[in-house]
Amino acid sequence: MASFWARVTFPRRLVPALYFRRNIQMVSIDPATQANYTDISSTHVHFDWDINWSKRVISGSATHTLLAHQPVDHVIFDSSYLTIDAVKIAGKSAQFDLKPPHPVLGSALVIPLASNWLPEISRGHDRIQHHGSRDRCRMARKGTYSARVRSVLPVLLSAIRVSPPSALIHGGKRVGEETVEYVYKQPVSIPSYLIAIASGNIVYRPFPAIPGKEWSTGVWTEPELMESSYWEFNEDTARYVEEAEKIVTPYEFGVYDLLLLPPSFPYGGMENACLTFITPTLLAGDRSLVDVVGHEISHSWFGNNVTTADSGHFWLNEGWTTWMERLLQQALHGPAERDFSYIIGRKALTEALKSYENNPKYQRLVIHYEFGEDPDDAYSSIPYEKGSNFLLYLERLLGGLDVFVPYVKDYVTTFRGKSIRTEQWKEHLYSYFRQNGGEEKIRLLDSVDWDAWFYGEGLQLPDPSKLAFNATDLKDFNSNQKVVFLERLSDIGGVSLPATHIHHLNATYNFNTSSNAEIRLRWYNLALTTPGATSYARDAAEWLVDPKGLKGRMKFCRPVFKKLFRVDPKLTTETWKLNSQFFHPIARRLIDKDLGIAEHRS
């Protein structure tokens, strides 16, 4: 038995929402980790933490249950920004070596073990107990976890709350003054990147329950945003979960709650088990952007259940999830809604492919990363859109949804709780249709240009779908149709609209003041690239850093900052330097690169 203790210090800018780095593990050597997880891995971890708000520090213990997959005399943990106070084995102090930080992978924590037994290990006020037996593993590692966290502000984790009840928020005690112990459990094995914690001045409201369902849904947010958040998401959230169960398999995580994060959150959503983090830019006031919630719910099956084995096969998470999200849109709103989403996504895919023309490896669906290469550098719409278009192509090739949905059920059931690579997915696809379609389906699969889909580069998809859209009457368009309309105006064969047309469009449809962030993004993509219409530059700059709705989500801020810089470099640079501290560190680093600003970030 061994224990180790660590003090976890988060920079001030990450409070009140505390983010955990993604650690995707795989069967063969994952280039994005330093851990020796193929030798020994954690099957369960228990956290015992205290949040010190005055010092901005989390300290405590983490007790791991370890499983050895072969004889091993040391264990290596990935760590980042941890202060390791001590390591104990069998209650006695033991040696450990915290390696210098790698710029991408963090610091490897190396702990010697006795040659034929597995100890209890703990980190700095994180105690970790490891018990193990020998076994040969075949899949990337997942595990369960539990936690006890003490704080003067409410605490949420990506797990089932044991106590206090959600209805009591802070256990009936005074928020910000009295300490409450929060107890959580996550009985479903999940990859480590889904372990998340958030704490702050937040409140909760459940969504209406669906009769006969054992799971529940609800929303957490700051008190000031509860009414708008509840209205925005209460109508569709539980319906998305219910429809997904009909299409795939029963929802197994027990709770599906939403947490509205501060505006600096750099993504649309993060699919933490039981607790999806979402951006406040979804608060459009007309429920027009809730499809992002449908996407994160779909991750409950594709990513949280069947997981990519490493970042090089990221499309297995995001391509499948996007395909599922659009099928949910069809279930709730009709087939046209599904087709329309593919049309909208095509523009984002084209822009993403163009952005990697100088690094075509990142245009591929399956990417081979070198050890230590940062997968964030390849993060774009490509795995989402290229992946979902590939699945849509296979769906239509093999006979439509009546044929494809039964296969999807079998895919999720076969790989439930496992982490896989693209070749395993393909092998199962062939196996299923060999048994449920015979030689006819196999001939169809053999006709697929697999190498072009997996490793193809360039701006065109293999076997592109023939979806088309003709705009007619804008006054009757919903928000999604307006998005497509603006994208079509931005992509009309290299011809620029006159500035007078741009001004007329804004005067008629008020795009420049729309509360829908998706519309504003497309509007500035159009206005800032139209000669003579650059008078919208200052409006764009103010929109990006509006303190009431800071557009920290990288989908919005990065492309607008780029276009703004081409129009008015001085305005862009001044705006960014004055406001960059309010953005998430990932967004800051990437926007610094976008704008050519080389600054040391402490």
Token pair 């050597």 in the structure block, residue: 29
Closest CA to 104 of 491, 419, 376, 512: 376
Q: What's the pLDDT score for residue 463?
A: 66
Residue 295 in marked binding region: yes
Beta strands 40-52 and 143-151: pairing type? parallel
Lowest-confidence segment of 10-19, 287-296, 467-476 by average pLDDT: 10-19
**How does pLDDT run across 489-531, given as a tens digit for each residue?**
876 555 566 777 787 778 778 888 888 999 999 999 888 887 7
Rounded CA gap, 85 and 100, in Å?
Answer: 16
232, 271, 296, 373: which is the annotated catalytic residue? 296
Is residue 574 annotated as a catalytic residue, yes or no?
A: no
Burial of 190: CB neighbours in 10 Å, binned 0-12, 13-18, 19+: buried
Q: What's the pLDDT score for residue 90?
A: 67
355 vs 344 pLDDT, higher one: 355
DSSP state of 134: B
Which amino acid, 463? D
Is residue 296 annotated as a catalytic residue, yes or no?
A: yes
Considering the four listed CATH numbers 3.40.50.920, 3.30.470.10, 2.60.40.790, 1.25.40.320, the one that applies to the domain covering 474-595 is 1.25.40.320
Residue 44 in marked binding region: no
The fold of 202-306 is Zincin-like (3.30.2010)
User: What CATH architecture does domain 1-200 belong to?
Assistant: Sandwich (2.60)
Long-range contacts of the stretch 348-351 (C-beta < 8 A, 24+): 348/381, 348/385, 349/381, 349/382, 349/385, 349/386, 349/389, 349/461, 350/459, 350/491, 351/381, 351/559
Which amino acid, 241? V
Lowest-confidence segment of 96-110, 142-156, 451-465 by average pLDDT: 451-465
Q: What's the pLDDT score for residue 15?
A: 28
Quick one: average pLDDT of 113-130? Answer: 45
Numbered ranges of CATH 2.60.40.1730 in the chain: 1-200
Residue 368 in marked binding region: no
Q: What's the pLDDT score for residue 259?
A: 98
453 vs 114 pLDDT, higher one: 453
Rounded CA gap, 162 and 216, in Å?
Answer: 14
Lowest-confidence segment of 85-99, 318-332, 349-363, 509-523 by average pLDDT: 85-99
Q: What's the pLDDT score for residue 284?
A: 93
Q: From the CB of residue 343, how many other CB atoms can be counted at a distance below 10 Å? A: 18
399 vs 481 pLDDT, higher one: 399
Numbered ranges of CATH 1.25.40.320 in the chain: 474-595
Q: What's the pLDDT score for residue 474?
A: 59
Strands (E) located in 237-381: 255-260, 269-270, 275-278, 307-308
Residue 305 in contact with residue 416, Cβ under 8 Å? yes
- Joined together, the tokens standing for residue 138 give 């075949």
Considering the four listed CATH numbers 1.10.630.10, 3.30.70.270, 1.10.390.10, 3.40.50.10070, the one that applies to the domain covering 310-455 is 1.10.390.10
Rounded CA gap, 396 and 392, in Å?
Answer: 6
**How does pLDDT run across 393-411, given as a tens digit for each residue?**
999 999 999 999 999 999 9
Task: Give the confidence band of 601 by pLDDT, cuts at 50, 70, 90.
Answer: very low
Rounded CA gap, 561 and 559, in Å?
Answer: 6
Q: What's the pLDDT score for residue 329?
A: 93
- Joined together, the tokens standing for residue 18 give 């505390």
Q: From the CB of residue 522, how many other CB atoms can be counted at a distance below 10 Å? A: 25
Task: Give the confidence band of 20 by pLDDT, cuts at 50, 70, 90.
Answer: very low
Q: Write the secondary structure of 535-599 as one string of H (helix), E (strand) and C (coil).
A: HHHHHHHHHHHCCCCCCCCHHHHHHHHHHHHHHCHHHHHHHHHHHHHHCCHHHHHHHHHHHCCCC
Numbered ranges of CATH 3.30.2010.30 in the chain: 202-306
**How does pLDDT run across 73-92, given as a tens digit for each residue?**
888 999 888 888 887 766 77
384, 407, 524, 536: which is the annotated catalytic residue? 384
Q: Write the secondary structure of 438-496 as one string of H (helix), E (strand) and C (coil).
A: HHHHHHHHHCCCHHHHHHCCCCCCCCCCCCCCCCCCHHHCCHHHHHHHHHHHHCCCCCC
Map residue 77 onto helix, strand or coil.
strand
Give percent of the chain with pLDDT exceeding 90: 61
Cα-only R_g, the chain:
24
Lowest-confidence segment of 153-157, 356-360, 530-534 by average pLDDT: 530-534
Closest CA to 43 of 105, 149, 169, 129: 129
